[in-house]
Amino acid sequence: MSEVSSQVMANRTDPITLSAPPIGLVDLLVKQIYGNYTFIGATLFLLWMGMQLLPPRNKLPIMNKKKWYELSWQRTIREFTTNTKEILANAQREADGKPFQLYTNQGLMTVLPPHYIHEIRNEPKLDSTLHFHKVFFGAFPGFEGINKHHLWVLMTITSKYITTNLARFTKPMAEECSEVLKDTLTDNPEWHVENPSTMVSKIVSRISTRAFLGKDFCDDPNWIDSSEQYATTLFYAAERLSVWHPWIRPIVQWFLPYCRKLRDKSAQCSSIMRGVLKQRKAVQETALKEGRELKKEPTTIEWAEQAANGRHHDPAQIQLSLGLECLQPLREEIMSVLRDGEGGWKKTSIYNMKLLDSAMKESQRLKPLTLCTMRRIVLEDLTLSDGTFLPKDTLVVASSSQLRDSQLYPNPDKFDIYRFYNMRKIPGKENAGQFVTTSPEYSAWGHGKHACPGRFLASNQIKIALCHLLVKYDFRIVPGSPTESMAFGFSIVTPPTARIEVRRRKAEFDLDSLEYGNE
């Protein structure tokens, strides 16, 4: 527009009426807006590319790198999840005893060889609770069961109250085990097919619920169903969410089906918990008014209040695996201890089932819950004794490859139920052969100050369940059923198509009539 035209326009006093916006102005606005968005988009893309190209602070080699032309780690992570054993074995062989990194379904992990276990066992700059909080997204709605605050309370309950009161859990766990076996495996004397994963899940869920929460929760099918589904959905939801970039997870988690289901199950569990607690309170108040004293089984609900020590916590979120030829010697030991020995479910009885303890430890050695243990997150920059540098926020795991080391365990691939039973006869190794004992050579439970605090109760639970299963039932593998465990990421799981046949057998003695000790 010329200066003259500008002056003329400026001197006009009559209003100008436009029937449509000037085309030039529209074009200018469109170009300006489009240009801004293009600039912002290009800037964000270049920033993202720059972050991908920047050298990471962690200098350890990444053993499963993406291809140079790939813009994301999706294929690498998917390949790791479905082929973990081979990728981990190749990485360990290539690293030759040195630390390395792997892109996993739970993020970039630094894998330490077993010889680092002793050094990091009590390292204050490493934390396990925050590791689980991060990889399982404990800050997101629905994932509260793995939230760092609830985990802290649960760890306190387990170490301070449960482990020191193990004998008090024997009776309720044994009673519930008898009931759940009747409900799941029945008293049918004919062979019938069972899914071992489903069977074990139901047994463990009921026994744990009875131990942690009491009889009223065990009798509530809604609680059993919701809590089981919550635990299962939690892992699937975390798996689906982990493939998304950290920047957009807070948004994506609202729309992913498994995350929505997790929030629903979390809400259901909380609702059921509130209802039962309200009912318990009413019963207690009535008893108090009538001057009656209530006999209560030990549960973790009251202990949670004490462990929380004023911190906010949600009680619902805190509550949230033999060769068949070995069955007979195990049955004989069970009879010898429970029927012919001191008799009954006593603390000493459970301890004296040493062959069963050995079989459990050997089974765990060959088929641990995870290929890598001692999950930690680095709280501050950490330099190990050999100069290995671990930056803050690094996710760390320790390899469990020593569990099949022939120098530690002769014939390491052979299942020998007497392996640890015989070890306990060696002077100086009496404790090393116990199921609950941890060491750099046996880290299935972890090791050091962050070793699994619930292993003592778990040991008792497994022994009680196995006593009932071995004395009351016969087992055989369905022909053609897979028997080898499979890896899903670092986790070791039973093949979903595995099947066994079960039938009720004539027991040599009545387990359900045994007396209970009060130690």
First-last CA distance in the chain: 99
Amino acid of residue 281: K
Give, as one character, the DSSP assignment of residue 39.
Answer: H
Structure tokens at 80: 């790791």
Give, as one character, the DSSP assignment of residue 512.
Answer: G
Using CB atoms within 10 A of its CB, is residue 421 exposed (0-12), middle (13-18) or buried (19+)? buried
Distance (Å, rounded) from C-alpha 366 to C-alpha 375? 20
Cα distances (angstroms) measured from residue 40 to each of 37, 196, 245, 318, 440: 5, 55, 19, 44, 52
Distance of CA 69 to the CA centre of its chain: 35
Amino acid of residue 291: G
Other Cβ atoms less than 10 A from the Cβ of 26: the count is: 11
Mode of pairing for the β-strands spanning 395-399 and 107-112: parallel
Distance (Å, rounded) from C-alpha 139 to C-alpha 305? 22
Cα distances (angstroms) measured from residue 340 to each of 333, 352, 421: 10, 12, 20
Contacts of residue 268, Cβ cutoff 8 Å, sequence gap at least 6: 222, 226
Cβ atoms of 507 and 472 within 8 Å: the answer is yes
- Which residue shows structure tokens 């099918």? 221
C-alpha neighbours within 13 Å on the C-beta side of residue 398: 28
Distance (Å, rounded) from C-alpha 135 to C-alpha 491? 14
Distance (Å, rounded) from C-alpha 60 to C-alpha 70? 21
Distance (Å, rounded) from C-alpha 134 to C-alpha 151? 12
Distance (Å, rounded) from C-alpha 296 to C-alpha 216? 11
Using CB atoms within 10 A of its CB, is residue 171 exposed (0-12), middle (13-18) or buried (19+)? middle
Give, as one character, the DSSP assignment of residue 371.
Answer: S
Distance (Å, rounded) from C-alpha 26 to C-alpha 452? 67
What values do phi and psi take at 473, rounded to 5?
Answer: -135, 155
Amino acid of residue 11: N
452 assigned ligand-binding residue: yes
DSSP for 452-501 reads: -TTHHHHHHHHHHHHHHHHHHEEEEEPTT---S-EEETTEEE--TT--EE
What values do phi and psi take at 349, rounded to 5?
Answer: -65, -45
Nearest to 80 by CA among 116, 57, 106: 106
Annotated binding site: 452
Annotated binding site for heme: 452
